[in-house]
Chains A and B, each alone.
Chain A
Amino acid sequence: MSKITMGQGLNRAIDEAMAEDEGVILLGEDVAAKQGGGVFKISAGLTEKYGEHRIRATPISEQAIMGACVGAALTGFRPIAEIMLMNFVTVCMDQIVNHAAKLRFMSGGQTNVPLVIRTTTGVGVGFGGQHSDMLEAWFAHVPGLKIVTPSNAADAQGLMRAAIACNDPVIFIENILCYGLQSDDPGANHVVPLGKAAVTQEGRDVSIITYGRTVLDALEVAGQLKDEGISAEVIDLRTIAPFDEEAVLASVKKTGRAIVLHEAVKAFGTGAEISARINEKLFGQLKAPVVRIGGAFSAVPMANVLEQAWIPNKDEIKEAARAAVKWGN
């Protein structure tokens, strides 16, 4: 079977959506052919097909990019805003939080913002404190925003199609380390619905609930735990907000133990919300306390040794699974 990379999957999904609807446009720094089709080449080849009026290379002006996308979306366009790195969303938070997220509600449903905010981030490449953060919890706290992150190439393609089709703003987080990941080619017009988690590894003893790049770590750990007789289930949320509570609760009901794992800083992260909901809904059925694993409480460091100490590691996940299984046994 032929393979595609995550980068190719994203490019294909955007290409398909642009071919289908004139209202799908892309705005971002360096995204047009003249600048090489984006720093990660996700929009390569699209300017040649759809023109510079639809693939709009922008100045380094995140507020203007985001606002222009909000405005175009209000008229029924389906813009994609590329914010080169997730830390740069901090300079256009007003447009995202006060406008994109709230205009449907504040207008009493007269307008809506079908917007995709594509952005890249990730810890592990030595980009340091202002180019690595996972800020999904900030957005998950804002009513009106959906947040998506793929862990593999096929999902990247399918989730991007669903995000573009969504009639509300979607923040689409791409992990910088995952662009080269390969999947079996899912073919044309592949769609992965928003809000649906995937059980990527079935298991009986402990549920590892995660998303994005750490799904890979969880799967690797689950494989290693098998040798120790521990059967770990891995849930890839795919959509972080609103997350698939049904799938999470079904899994934890079965295993009685849950580890919530993410790359973002652990304190006040999405893991806290997921853990709280498990506790609220399954209090009497848990065999062990819900455990959170996430990044350290500091800026993401540059030195590789520090960066590796910062990020959740596989031993930590393995140890948490072993400890969880000891409860009630």
Chain B
Amino acid sequence: MDRDKLLDIYTRTMRIARFDEQMRSVIMSGKLATLYYTVRGQELVTAAMMAAANKDDYLVTTYRGQHDQIAKGVPLDLLIAEIAGRETGTCKGKGGSMHITHPATGVMVTTGVVGSGLPIANGLALASQNRKDGKITICCFGDGATNIGAFHESMNMAQLYGLPVIFFCQNNRYGEHTAFADHTKVENIALRAAAYNMKAIHVDGNDTEAMYAAAVEAVEHARSGKGPVLLEAMCYRMMGHFFGADFSYMPPDHLAEMAAEDPLPKLRKLMLDHQFSEEELDGMVATLDKEIEDAMTFAFESPFPSAAELTVDVFEEKIVEGRYGA
């Protein structure tokens, strides 16, 4: 695999991993009380996906989406400030971790409703198709989202119109507390593409080279005008549904399998195989840690939004007392 591309994927992966660890630590310390959906275990799949896409491609993701946003390039200072509810955050503190938006890096919607991103992704892709702007839309969701009606409506419509969209299913094997086999009877999600006559790719998301090759194949397909792709990357959600939540419902053999497949040590080994040294890798992580530390400082030193924000951004015009029953 191309060494520069591998380095790119490694940097994106470790930026996510270090961010996630620091977020959990700052929540554990009591400094920040917030609902946080940890992305531990899903760092690599999205790093490889976004490394295959362009910065101006559109992204739609979900509440468990910080890894997707970071991989897409959302600046960490704005991201952390948003999660901490500060006025300097991407959304002035009005969205929070479940609703990160950052059009400058193509992050158009982060939804807190499972499966709701797919119909919207079609619209972004439809606009690109009409404009012929060459952009594709990447829509991230989990295996749990594939049993809601919106998934099926969207898959059918995307294929009907031949939209440039990648339905990127990060199959982390749990929908909230329910294991894959307890919510779905097909063997995998990629099989469902056949029902829509859609191209499907099924890949081991913890295998960097396979994952990146799958991402490139999906991007080329969507960008060339051949229509949508359902790309299913197998991975693991290595902690509870949200950070701090109990996950004793995960059986011991699943936990053991998960630990053996952890993408981070596997990627580090691949980097060493590609003649990156331990010192180089540690140095890169130290640089990322500094970036995250600076972003944390920026976020926690930023002011909270003012109450006047409640009258702004509801409509284009400000809410005026009397006119809206306020």
Which A positions have Cβ atoms within 8 angstroms of B? 22-23, 25, 53-54, 56, 58-59, 61-64, 66-77, 79, 94-95, 98-99, 103-112, 143-144, 146, 166-168, 195, 242, 245, 273, 277
Contact = CB atoms under 8 A, between A and B. Distances in A.
Contacts of A71: 60, 108-109, 119-127, 137
Contacts of A68: 119-120, 122-123, 126, 157
B92 interface: yes
Contacts, number: 158
Nearest to B119: A67
Contacts of B156: 59, 61, 64
Q: Which of B118, B123, B128, B161 has the most CB of A within 10 A?
A: B123
A64 B122 contact: yes
B90 A108 contact: yes
A75 B149 contact: no
A98 to B, nearest CB: 5
Given A106-B101, A108-B313, A74 B123 contact: yes
B280 interface: no
A146 B90 CA distance: 26
Q: 7 nearest interchain CB pairs?
A: A67-B119, A71-B123, A108-B92, A108-B91, A107-B101, A64-B153, A61-B153
Interface stretch (B167-175, B234-242, B315-323): B315-323
Interface string B83-122: 0000001111111000101110000110111001011111
B22 interface: no
Nearest to A100: B120
B125 A98 contact: no
Nearest to B93: A108
B129 A99 contact: no
Contact of B316 (A23, A62, A167): A167
Contacts of A63: 119, 149-150, 153-154
A268 B118 CA distance: 34
Contacts of A167: 316
B101 A72 contact: no
B186 interface: no
Contacts of A23: 127
B286 interface: no
A108 B60 CA distance: 17
B325 A67 contact: no
Q: How big is chain B's contact interface, by range?
A: 35 or more
Interface in B2-48: none
Given A64-B157, A71-B60, 14 more contacts: A56-B126, A58-B157, A59-B156, A59-B157, A64-B119, A69-B123, A72-B127, A75-B124, A98-B113, A99-B120, A103-B109, A104-B316, A106-B94, A107-B101
Interface string B187-228: 000000000000000000000000000000000000000000
Nearest to A68: B123
Nearest to B96: A106
A97 B3 CA distance: 46
A245 B323 contact: yes
Find the residue from B60, B90, B316 having the highest chain A CB count within 10 A: B316
B130 interface: yes
Contacts of A143: 314, 324
A62, A66, A69, A94 pick with most chain B CB within 10 angstroms:
A94
B325 A74 contact: no
A75 B118 contact: no
Contacts of B112: 98
Contacts of A75: 58, 108, 123-124, 127-128, 131
B109 A74 contact: yes
12 contacts: A25-B130, A59-B157, A63-B119, A67-B121, A71-B122, A74-B120, A75-B128, A98-B116, A99-B116, A103-B109, A104-B314, A112-B316
